Chains A and B, each alone.
Chain A
Amino acid sequence: MSKSIARTLGSNASFVLALFARQLSASFALRASFFTSAVVMLINDAMFFSTWWVIMRRFGSVSGWNLEDVMCLFGVSASGFGVCVVVFGGVYDLARRVQEGELDTFLTQPKSVLFQALACRTQPSGWGDLAAGIGMFALSGVVSWSRSPWVVLAVLCSAINFTATAVVMHSLAFWIRRIHTLARSLWDFTVTFSLYPPSLFGGALRVVLFTLVPAGLVAYLPVEMLRTPRPLTVLAATGGTVLHAAFALWLFQRGSRHYTSGNRITT
């Protein structure tokens, strides 16, 4: 299984980059819309973060997390989310494509169906998230030049985990009908949880945050690696990401065996 997954990843990396470049130039064709989406999302993120500013200004810290720590968490989540939806903007619609038979057109191509379905769209608003995340890193003061490789690795882990989370949830559409809304909701819940310090949650909820709604993989482990880059935290963040991504690829491949549709290929 691991060999086949590695081969899939290798052969599709340049293809995804080419698709991304195409999507980007298509986005720039509607320049006003592109910049509006990105700027509004940046404002949106800044306004959301003001809640944390008010809380920390009043109380100083929450469960041992101060404003700089939360900025770091927000930086990882927002940047990771931004990269995910910019490169793989199709994550929003994957379950719908499966259910409505829209994978047909991708099946005729010599590249991975999953990567085509994910990279066939880009979300310009993701640039706003990415900008907000970078801004948070800069303001947090936690990040220095010597730590910047860890920042890049943390954002990369977060982006891969966001994508893997979406693929896992949307792949359920191969087995369960009308799952699209639920898959979107579960993804939204993961995003929501990834913006709050993990120390708030304990017990059974913590298990949920590393499985059903994997905010732990998406944000908590990458942030821990960034805050204290030790072999154990690096291994946990990168190892968790690799396993999660491998599981997502495997699940989609298993699911695609059940794929049936009316033929959408027309001449």
Chain B
Amino acid sequence: MSSDATLWVLPARPRRKLDKYVAIAALSFRQRLDDRAVLVGRVMFYAIILAIYSRLWQEVLGASGASLLGDRALGHSAASYVWYLAVTEWIMLAQPSVYLEIEADVRNGDVAYQLSRPLSYVGAKLSAALGELALRWLVLGASGLMLGRLFSGEWPNPEGLVGALLVGALAGLVMLLAYVAIGLSAFWLHDVTPIFLIWQKLSFVLGGLMLPIGIYPDWLRVIAEHTPFAALLYGPGQLVVQGGADNVLRLAVTLAAWGALFLMVVVLLERRARRNVCLHGG
């Protein structure tokens, strides 16, 4: 490595701090690699959803259906909608259930001794989830490419695909922060599944997981566009069909803003949660 390159390397102390989290992420990646049944289950579910919706789009867009799509539609071919779904489902299905792990730690009291370790509890949970997320990105990404081609019958525009994958990865990171925030609410609620289910279904409807929000009634589309869900799912899905470097940049900035907000919520919740644990005696 040249001396110039070393300038870009982090100083030793922060690097050592970061090494712990990288090691946790790497370990989580390897552990999840052994849990093949879960990965196979997700890939099968991915295939089934794409199979169902490719049939549905072929059916509704056949004959004169395309003329009913309206001005804000993504495209007029079933293939566009299959690729849209391949991207939104890739983002959604890749998410690890970190909220359940945090909830379990709180419920069985493990969190008390994990807080005393020389590393951030939330940082460690995020690192482990990132390792799992990276594995799922790879497996589901490769599957999604093959399944998308199989069910749509064509490849998407490469520029749009690359943009969608980059922004989709950013969306996945932002969503992970939201999942951690949901998990941390276990310090007050104990059972976070209801909150998660509501978040999931809001993603479903306002994010346009299955259907692009462009075909929604106007009032619902306007509401959806003002929520983080549209940026997390509809945005990357739209990119794979419509592409555009300026769209990638605009969406990345929007996601970064939502990510900063979720990060603040996570930090706030962690601080309050620590106080909560102390109050109850750990």
Chain A residues near B (Cβ < 8 Å): 33, 36-37, 40-41, 43-44, 47-48, 50-51, 54-55, 57-60, 62-63, 178, 181-182, 184-185, 188-189, 192-193, 196, 200-201, 205
A181 touches B197 (CB 8 A): no
Number of interface residues of B (CB under 8 A): 34
B44 touches A185 (CB 8 A): yes
Known: A48-B204, A181-B41, A200-B56. A59 touches B65 (CB 8 A): yes
**CA gap between A201 and B52 in the complex, in Å:** 8
Q: What are some 14 contacts across the A-B interface (CB < 8 A)?
A: A40-B193, A44-B201, A47-B205, A50-B205, A51-B204, A55-B211, A58-B60, A181-B41, A185-B45, A189-B44, A189-B45, A196-B56, A200-B56, A201-B55
C-beta contact mask, B154-195 vs A, less than 8 Å → 1, else 0?
000000000000000000000000000000000000010110
A40 touches B52 (CB 8 A): no
A58 touches B70 (CB 8 A): yes
A188 CB, nearest partner CB in chain B, Å:
7
C-beta contact mask, B59-84 vs A, less than 8 Å → 1, else 0?
11000010011100000000000000
Residue B118 is within 8 A (CB to CB) of chain A in the complex: no
Find the B residue at minimum CB distance from A180: B37
A55 CB, nearest partner CB in chain B, Å:
7
Residue B33 is within 8 A (CB to CB) of chain A in the complex: no
B69 touches A189 (CB 8 A): no
Residue B49 is within 8 A (CB to CB) of chain A in the complex: yes
B211 CB, nearest partner CB in chain A, Å:
6
Known: A33-B191, A181-B41. A189 touches B48 (CB 8 A): yes
Find the A residue at minimum CB distance from B65: A59
Instruction: Determine the chain A residues whose CB is within 8 A of the CB of B70 once the complex forms.
Output: 58
Instruction: Determine the chain A residues whose CB is within 8 A of the CB of B201 once the complex forms.
Output: 43-44, 47-48
Instruction: Determine the chain B residues whose CB is within 8 A of the CB of A47 once the complex forms.
Output: 201-202, 204-205
Residue B128 is within 8 A (CB to CB) of chain A in the complex: no
A192 touches B194 (CB 8 A): no
A55 touches B55 (CB 8 A): no
Tell me whether chain A's interface is mostly helix, strand or loop, or mixed.
helix
* Among B45, B69, B194, residue most surrounded by chain A Cβ atoms (within 10 Å): B194
A-B CB proximity, top 4 nearest: A47-B201, A185-B41, A181-B37, A40-B194
A93 CB, nearest partner CB in chain B, Å:
16
Residue B1 is within 8 A (CB to CB) of chain A in the complex: no
Residue B215 is within 8 A (CB to CB) of chain A in the complex: yes
A59 touches B68 (CB 8 A): yes
Known: A54-B216, A193-B52. A62 touches B205 (CB 8 A): no
**CA gap between A181 and B215 in the complex, in Å:** 36
Known: A178-B37, A200-B59, A201-B55. A36 touches B194 (CB 8 A): yes
**CA gap between A60 and B63 in the complex, in Å:** 13
Of the residues A36, A54, A62, contact of B215 by C-beta under 8 Å? A54
A62 touches B69 (CB 8 A): no
A181 touches B56 (CB 8 A): no
Instruction: Determine the chain A residues whose CB is within 8 A of the CB of B210 once the complex forms.
Output: 51
Instruction: Determine the chain A residues whose CB is within 8 A of the CB of B198 once the complex forms.
Output: 40, 43-44
A220 CB, nearest partner CB in chain B, Å:
14
> Other than the known A36-B191, A182-B41, what 8 A-B pairs have Cβ atoms closer than 8 Å?
A40-B198, A51-B205, A54-B220, A188-B45, A192-B48, A196-B52, A196-B56, A200-B55
